[in-house]
Structure 1
Amino acid sequence: MKSAVETLSPTRVKLTVEVPFEELKPLLEDAYRSIGSQVQVPGFRRGKVPARIIDQRIGRGAVVQEAVNEALPKYFAEAAEAEDVRAIGQPEVDVTAVPLEDGQDLEFTVETDVRPTLELPELTGVAVSVDDVAVTDEDVEERLTALRERFGTLVGVDRAVEDGDHVSIDLSAEIDGEQIDAVEGVSYEVGSGNMLQGIDEALLGLSAGETATFTAPLAGGDHEGQEAECTVTVQSVKVRELPELDDEFAQLASEFDTLEELRADLVRQAEQAKKYEQGIQARDRLLEQLLETVEVPVPDGIVEAEVHSHLEGENRLEDDEHRAEVEESTRKALRAQFLLDALAEQLEVTVEQPELIEYLVMSAQQYGMDPNQFAQAVDQQGQVSAMVQEVARRKALAAVLDDAVVTDASGNPVDLDELVPESETAAAGEEGTAEEAATGEEPAAAAEAQEGAQAEEPAQA
């Protein structure tokens, strides 16, 4: 086999491949055997039909086509490896010569997008600046309020709904007069914004037993994104009464005896959380600096395919404004991926099995799934290699961050090893470490696995 490569752009190449007849001959013989086993010719047993009879009855072209179809992926892969072409996306193949007669060669060209070759800067001692750790009274009060709400009680009130109330509602949705979904007795905190668009405005001012209608796009199910006529009825209105701030509350909500001790501990927690935020900020700013420093071209074909798939999944192919937003975010994500892949390659990052397992467990927890079920979904959808790549990217950025010189806005050095959150910080929802969240993006592989493993949510969810 002979091959040559022509660079069309930093992200696209054209491979020219020539396969001598003698090299292709075994595939032609395999094609004759395959076709011979499928046809019945009088006077010959199945699978024993001579090649000349197949040429007469079926045609040489059918044999050549089967052989060429088998040959193209094989020789494309060999040519790409020989020419050090890292192909991505869907290649465009053009067969320019086929061996219709013995002795003729197979010739074809392939245009394909490729991973760009990047020139990375010096990675040791990169200077990164983060914000100072500054705990305010508002930070402490926010934690104190959250703690009081955990120990608060819901009490029914006889008045119209106000922002922040907890209501029990019945909710239904119709499209063109047909009921799509309906639920009863759903609990909802007014103003939380975690249900349908417009529901907060519809609820405000209603009293128990009253009904309102509004129009909103459905958030899930077969009709996701479609406008529906929604009807909401208030069954009850409750407010959360918070316990008094005193020593008795401190003893109820913590291991401390006095409110003063509890406040001091909340200050410490807030400070620890701010330090952890420094680590996240250092990671994000390091990646931003590298993306500003390194030119990372992105294949237009890959972007177009990703955007089309995304919009098709949302049933919003005609939404030009949303298309522009998705295209921008897709290009940014691909630039980050290519950069991190280049870092992982240069740093010779390897991923061990325990690291992959830890990442799978973390991703499963993120989606509220059983780790075994999540791992099976990843395997069934062929996403294991993509997950390995995600881990490698995170390790690569973490390695560069480990060698970076991080200072706060006041010029004080920041020790990233001290920024791992404590248990109470993690319990508050700030999960993981700077290394574990190195890309700052939800991996596509994890999202695809989650979508394939979980049933669709109700339209009202």
Structure 2
Amino acid sequence: MKSAVETLNPTRVRLTVEVPFEELKDSLDAAYKKINQQVTVKGFRKGKIPARIIDQRFGRGAVLEEAVNDALPKFYTEAVNEAEINPLGQPEVDITELKDGETLNFTAEVDIRPVIEIPDYSGIEVTVDSIEVTDEDIDKAVEELRERFASTSPVERAAEDGDIVTIDLEAKVEGEVLEDGVATAVQYTIGSGELLEGIDEAVTGLEAGGEATFTSQLKGGSAEGKDAEVTVKVTAVAKRELPELDDDFAQLASEFDTLEDLRADSRKRLTGIKQYDQATQAQERVLEKLLEIAEVPIPEKLLEDEINTRKHNLEHHQLGQMGLDLAKYLEIQGKTEDEFVAETKEAAVKGIKTQFILDELVSKEKLNVNQEELTEHLMRRAASSGMSPDQFAQAVVEGNQVPMLVGEVARGKALALVVEASKVLDTNGDVVDLDDEDETETAAETVEAVTDADAAEADEKGEDKPEA
């Protein structure tokens, strides 16, 4: 077999392959055998039909087509290996010449990973938020904890802001009660804004047994978006009682004996959260700088596939779970379809560039992923997916997704390497010393968010079987 490679542009090549006909022998034998099992010819046992009879009855062309489709993947793979290229996606194959008994010639155009020069990233400098936990931050955290331990008790008075009322609702549109417009025994906290617009004003001041009618635009259901006349009846009023902020509360709500110890733990916890946010911010901003100074050509077909995958995932997974379609989503976001397409393309380009340059860094720096790092990443991915580690690991293995997880961790290590070499300052002008222990895992999360794991691996399927 002879092959040659022609570079069409930095991300696409054309392979020209010439195959001597004798190299098709195994595929021709397999084609005759396959056809033998599929057809019946009077006078011959199944599977025992001579080749010349198959040629006469069904045509030599059918056999050649079967043989060529069987052989193409092998010849294509040999040409790829000989050319030492990294294909992306399925090639476009064109058989330019097929002479029975003489030769098979074909071309295969395919996108390839571009050759990337890693820029000098040692001069990257970014600024991130400083870590400041104020007394007000601690007060808010303790108050949120206090809210979780609030109790309720019935009262015989008019409902006030913050009270919990039990209500019955009936919604009419154009004088007709909606089939899905009736609800009973609904508990609602006045001022929470969790139900219909106008309901707070309607129930405030009502005692148990009180009733009011108001007009509101429906947020869901069969008459979503229409104005409805809503009748609300209060059947019970209860007040919320917060526990006293003292040592007894600390013992009730935590493992600490004193309120002072609880507040100290809140400060420590909030500091940890802000440190994590600061590390993530540093990685995001360093990555932005790296992408600015790196030249990364984008394969057109890969970009098209990435855009389509991101759009599909949004429409059929994320929005589907929320009961929205794309049109409603764009309306809520206040975006036009053109703006959505432009933003999706921008995100796809960023994701592909990120993957390409970090993969190149992984290769250049010979970064490896050990079992501990992979297990830690798997545990985090399992937690975020709502699955147990065992369930998630089984799904990963069954879906042949282990290389995807390894790639995520490796790219995280590559980004951590760039961050380590960069200068990170906080808004006070102080140098930020990031925690090396957690940096790789948070970097993997940052990369995952940019590349969109569901779509980013599309380019790894580069050896799909080509057919004529």
* 8 Å contact from structure 2 (residues 159, 165) kept in 1: no
* 8 Å contact from structure 1 (residues 363, 446) kept in 2: no
Give the 3-state SS of the residue equivalent to 1:7 in structure 2. Answer: strand
* 8 Å contact from structure 1 (residues 272, 419) kept in 2: no
Provide the residue aligned with 2:449 in structure 1: 441
- The alpha-carbon distance between structure 1 residues 45 and 408, as it changes in their structure 2 partners (threshold 3 A), is same
* 8 Å contact from structure 1 (residues 123, 400) kept in 2: yes
Q: Structure 1 residue 349 and structure 2 residue 347: aligned?
A: no
Moved more, 362-371 or 395-404: 395-404
Provide the residue aligned with 1:201 in structure 2: 197
* 8 Å contact from structure 2 (residues 196, 216) kept in 1: no
CA shift, 1:106, in A, is 1.5
- Per-residue CA deviation, residues 356-405 of structure 1 (Å, 9 max, x unaligned), is 33322211111211222223333333333222222221122223334444
Alignment of 1:240-389 (within 5 A): 240-312=240-312, 314=315, 316=326, 319-389=337-407
Which amino acid is 1:201 matched to? E
Provide the residue aligned with 1:13 in structure 2: 13
Provide the residue aligned with 2:141 in structure 1: 143
- Per-residue CA deviation, residues 385-443 of structure 1 (Å, 9 max, x unaligned), is 2222222211222233344443434443332237859xxxxxxxxxx953452415177
CA shift, 1:167, in A, is 7.7
Moved more, 370-379 or 208-217: 208-217
Which amino acid is 2:67 matched to? A
* 8 Å contact from structure 2 (residues 163, 238) kept in 1: no
CA shift, 1:291, in A, is 0.7
Q: Distance in 2 between matches of 1:16 and 1:367?
A: 45
Identity, in percent, stands at 46
- Per the normalisation by structure 1, the TM-score is 0.76
* 8 Å contact from structure 2 (residues 169, 181) kept in 1: no
Any unmatched runs of 5+ in structure 1?
A: 422-431, 450-461
Give the 3-state SS of the residue equivalent to 2:132 in structure 1. Answer: coil
Q: Distance in 2 between matches of 1:295 and 1:169?
A: 62
- Per-residue CA deviation, residues 145-198 of structure 1 (Å, 9 max, x unaligned), is 2222232234567767968979889899xxxx99899998787878889x9xxx
Q: Distance in 2 between matches of 1:81 and 1:159?
A: 81
* 8 Å contact from structure 2 (residues 382, 392) kept in 1: yes
* 8 Å contact from structure 2 (residues 22, 101) kept in 1: no
Moved more, 262-271 or 314-323: 314-323
Any unmatched runs of 5+ in structure 2?
A: 172-176, 316-324, 328-335, 458-468
Alignment of 1:141-220 (within 5 A): 141-154=139-152, 199=195, 201=197, 203-207=199-203, 214-216=217-219
Provide the residue aligned with 2:22 in structure 1: 22
Larger relative contact order, structure 1 or 2 (CA cutoff 8 Å, min sep 6): 2
- Per-residue CA deviation, residues 65-123 of structure 1 (Å, 9 max, x unaligned), is 11111122222222222212222233322221223x212x2222222222222110235
Which amino acid is 2:35 matched to? I
Alignment of 1:34-49 (within 5 A): 34-49=34-49
Q: Structure 1 residue 399 and structure 2 residue 420: aligned?
A: no
CA shift, 1:325, in A, is 2.5
Q: Distance in 1 between matches of 2:450 and 2:154?
A: 40
Which amino acid is 2:353 matched to? R
Moved more, 308-317 or 388-397: 308-317
Give the 3-state SS of the residue equivalent to 2:89 in structure 1. Answer: strand
- The alpha-carbon distance between structure 1 residues 272 and 375, as it changes in their structure 2 partners (threshold 3 A), is closer
Q: Distance in 2 between matches of 1:433 and 1:237?
A: 49
Alignment of 1:64-143 (within 5 A): 64-99=64-99, 101-103=100-102, 105-123=103-121, 126-143=124-141
- The alpha-carbon distance between structure 1 residues 239 and 2, as it changes in their structure 2 partners (threshold 3 A), is farther
Q: Distance in 2 between matches of 1:191 and 1:32?
A: 78
Provide the residue aligned with 1:424 in structure 2: none
CA shift, 1:38, in A, is 1.7
Moved more, 128-137 or 334-343: 128-137
Q: Distance in 2 between matches of 1:380 and 1:163?
A: 51
Number of aligned residue pairs: 424
- The alpha-carbon distance between structure 1 residues 27 and 433, as it changes in their structure 2 partners (threshold 3 A), is closer
* 8 Å contact from structure 1 (residues 114, 299) kept in 2: yes
Give the 3-state SS of the residue equivalent to 1:302 in structure 2. Answer: helix
Q: Which has the larger radius of gyration?
A: 2
Provide the residue aligned with 1:459 in structure 2: none
Q: Distance in 2 between matches of 1:311 and 1:94?
A: 31
Provide the residue aligned with 2:462 in structure 1: none
Q: Distance in 2 between matches of 1:365 and 1:166?
A: 36
CA shift, 1:294, in A, is 0.5
